[in-house]
Structure 1
């Protein structure tokens, strides 16, 4: 019952926290076990929540044993379907014994249940995959050998792709892969258990790499994001027109990352040349408070769009003001609490989500009580309560439009006062676009 209630609360919280929560190949998720789900781990506690709400069946979570450090935590976490696993890195110089954890996993699989495990072992806010531990493979193969799962253990790879793991109202794309049958590795396991576990781990890694964006370094990751800003629209024209938007975004970024990997291997000089062109251009944009998308649009489009935006901002301001008054405190408190509790970027989003699950309902109840004390009408109270989340979402949208309008108006003002500077930026941009177009032709020809 506790698991079910928490799942419903978290589902609503995730729907609010993310602007877009998209899933690819959800039909590949089995509705029952024996099942081991393996995921990359970029966003700490947010990752298991995302996967768990997508499954009808209950999920058992393989969790590092250090969090079970008090009797109350042990009781609570066990009732939330968490199984402790002890890691060597948490107990240096000591012998780690996970026989009880493995037996609990075998029992769960025998009962056709679903386990979730992060084989990287730790969470990092990076678009890459750390070396995988062999525990998942050993668990699946051990369950098969022990006859714990008559139906055969399936391993389901799931890739989690965040647009910005630490930001409220960002996007997440869950990419589900095809299940891997552990029984296929049993013949090799009977020959050599260690070799078979390593082979299965390598296979899991290969499947996960297909489902996520991988960048080898922070510098390359920044370059890929810049290329996305400038060149995504042109690359989108090459994709199937019927592909869903979330899949198109993933495929474009994946293609950019793959092409960068190719040039790093075969023509690193071209990558360095692109960085030399890109860096000063992006720095100038940042200093001037501009966004590249503004320079890519036509001048006439600026004027017409500015008129429509000005009208929207004028007419929508009263609703925006109302939304700010009624939603500012529950909105800002999660961010403030996250700042106080952690400096690690990986923990910000789950802390904000957790605090937000309490701050918004509590403030809405308090505001409803105050409203009732002045206007004791059930009908008006219901309308007021409904207006709180609606005006909150409108306020977020209004602020987003306002920020874009500020950039557009700034560009128009700069264009009227400093045409030479804008013209210089446009020349820089065109040089970068020409370099990207040539690189694209080279890459496609090489492939």
Structure 2
């Protein structure tokens, strides 16, 4: 009962927290076990919430033992279907005591349940798959060996791809892969258990890497993001595809990563020069408070869009103030709590999601109660008032984004009239960068597969 209630609440929370929540190949998700779901782990508690929300059946989570306290906390986590497992880094050189966790996992799979595990062991806010541990393979093969081939255990790889893991109203793209039949490794496990575990672990690693954006280093990830900012829209227009927009974005990013890996091997000095030119260009944009997308527009387009933005802002100001009045407090509390609760950036999003699921309903209820007391509003009026609060909140967020875009337009217009030489220099620099990227794209496409 507790699990079903929390799942319903978190599903609603995810719809609000993410601007886009897209899933590829959801039809590959089995609706029953025995099933072991394996995912990459870039966003701490948000990852199991996102993944479990897509599965119809109840999910049992294998989590590090350090999140389990004692007494009420331990009881509550077990009611939420968490199974504690010890890791070497948590035991400080002491022997691991995971017999109970493995026995519980074997029993759950034997009963046809679904387990969720993050084989990296730790969560890192990075677009890469770290070295994965053998626990998932050991659980799957151990359960299959204990209960026979008729158990038909499958491993479902799921890639989680966040546009900005810690930011409210960002995007998440869930990429579901083909299930792995554990029975394919059963014979090898009987002959040589450790070797079969390593083979299945490697298969899991390869499947997960294919389902996510994987950048080997932070420096490379930064370069990929810089290229996306400058070139991705143009690249997307040149490469039409029948894939949905979210899937198209994912494929383009992976193509950028793959091409950078290629040129890093065959022409590292060229990659270094590109990194320097893009870095210099973006530092100038930041200093002048400009946006790259605006430099691709003509002065007339920027002028008329600036005028249009001001008019829309003026018309929407009353509704913006209404939304700000009713949403500022519940909107800011979650971020303040997250910053106070932990310095680890990976935990900010799940903390904000959890706190926000309480602050908004409670604050809205308080506003409705005050309105009923002061104005003796009717039931119909209160319902309409409550309905307007979240809608005005979304409007306020959109208004704020429009305000920032309009400010950027006016900054560029001011530079047109006061420092046109700087604008032209930036445009030439941008054009040279795009020309270099286009040349690299053509050369890369000519490479043999």
Q: Name the TM-score, length of structure 2 as normaliser.
A: 0.98
Match for residue 425 of structure 2? Answer: 424
For residue 301 of structure 1, report the CA deviation from its aligned partner. Answer: 2.0
**1:168 counterpart SS class:** coil
In the TM superposition, residue 223 of structure 1 has moved relative to its aligned partner by 0.9
The match for 2:282 is: 282
Paired residue secondary structure (1:19)? strand
Residues 1:442 and 2:443 aligned together: yes
In structure 1, C-alpha distance between the alignment counterparts of 2:50 and 2:66, rounded to whole Å = 22
SS in 2 for 1:174: strand
For residues 275 and 418 of structure 2, the distance between their equivalents in structure 1, rounded to whole angstroms, comes to: 30
- Find the counterpart in structure 2 of residue 146 from structure 1: 146
Aligned to 2:412: 411
Name the residue aligned to 1:217. 217
Q: What does the per-residue CA deviation read over 1:293-326, in whole Å, with 9 as the maximum and x for residues that have no partner?
A: 0001222321232232222111111100100001
Please name the residue that 1:186 is paired with: 186
Alignment of 1:24-423 (within 5 A): 24-147=24-147, 150-376=150-376, 377-423=378-424
Q: Deviations over 1:241-271 (max 9, x none)?
A: 4321100111111110111111111110110
More displaced, 18-27 or 236-245? 236-245
Could you tell me which runs of 5 or more consecutive residues in structure 1 were left unpaired when the two chains were aligned: none
* 1:148, distance to aligned residue in structure 2 (A): 6.1
SS across alignment from 1:84? strand
Asked if the contact 1:259/1:443 (under 8 Å) is kept, the reply is yes
Distance 1:317 1:399 in 2: 10
Q: Distance in 1 between matches of 2:12 and 2:225?
A: 30
CA distance, structure 2, for counterparts of residue 287 and residue 187 of structure 1: 62
User: Matched residues in 1 for 2:191 and 2:156: separation?
Assistant: 25
For residues 255 and 299 of structure 1, the distance between their equivalents in structure 2, rounded to whole angstroms, comes to 33
Q: Are 2:149 and 2:183, in contact at CA under 8 Å, matched by a contact in 1?
A: no
Q: Distance in 2 between matches of 1:233 and 1:382?
A: 43
Residue 237 of structure 1 deviates from its aligned partner by 2.6
Contact 1:106–1:148 (CA under 8 A) maintained in structure 2 = no
For structure 2, the residue ranges without an aligned partner over 5 or more in a row are: none
Q: Report the CA distance between 1:22 and its aligned residue.
A: 0.6
Q: Tell me the SS of whatever aligns to 2:147.
A: coil
Q: Secondary structure at the match of 2:173?
A: strand
Distance 1:137 1:53 in 2: 24
Secondary structure of 1:127's match?
Answer: coil
CA contact (8 A) 1:68 1:77 kept: yes
State whether residues 154 and 181 of structure 2, in contact with CA within 8 Å, keep that contact through their aligned partners in structure 1: yes
How many residue pairs match? The answer is: 447
Per-residue CA shift, 1:193-223, capped at 9, x if unaligned? 0000001000100010011111111111111
Query: Is the 2:241–2:248 contact (alpha carbons within 8 Å) kept by the matching residues of 1?
Result: no
Aligned counterparts of 1:22 and 1:300: Cα–Cα separation in 2: 36
* Preserved contact between residue 110 and residue 149 of structure 1 (Cα < 8 Å): no
Q: Do the aligned residues in 2 keep the contact of 1:63 with 1:84 (CA within 8 Å)?
A: yes
SS in 1 for 2:150: coil
Q: What do residues 43-91 of structure 1 show as CA deviations (whole Å, max 9, x unaligned)?
A: 0000000001101100000011112221211111111011111111101
Q: How many Å separate the matches in 2 of 1:14 and 1:33?
A: 25
In structure 2, C-alpha distance between the alignment counterparts of 1:61 and 1:188, rounded to whole Å? 28
Q: Is the 8 A contact 1:40 1:160 kept in 2?
A: yes
Partner residue, 1:3: 3
- Answer yes or no: is the 8 Å Cα contact 2:110–2:151 preserved in 1: no
Distance 1:306 1:276 in 2: 32
CA distance in 2, matches of 1:320, 1:230: 31
Within 2, Cα distance between the matches of 1:46 and 1:208?
18
Asked whether the 8 Å contact 1:175–1:212 carries over to 2, the reply is yes
Residue pair 2:35, 2:109 contacting (<8 A) in 1 also: yes
Please give the alpha-carbon distance, in whole angstroms, between the structure 2 residues aligned to 1:274 and 1:299. 28
| Structure 2: distance between partners of 1:276 and 1:171 | 29
8 Å CA contact 1:158, 1:211 repeated in 2: yes
Higher mean displacement: 149-158 or 318-327: 149-158
Alpha-carbon distance in 2 for matches of 1:172, 1:247: 11
Report the alpha carbon displacement of residue 150 of structure 1 after superposing the two structures with TM.
Answer: 2.8
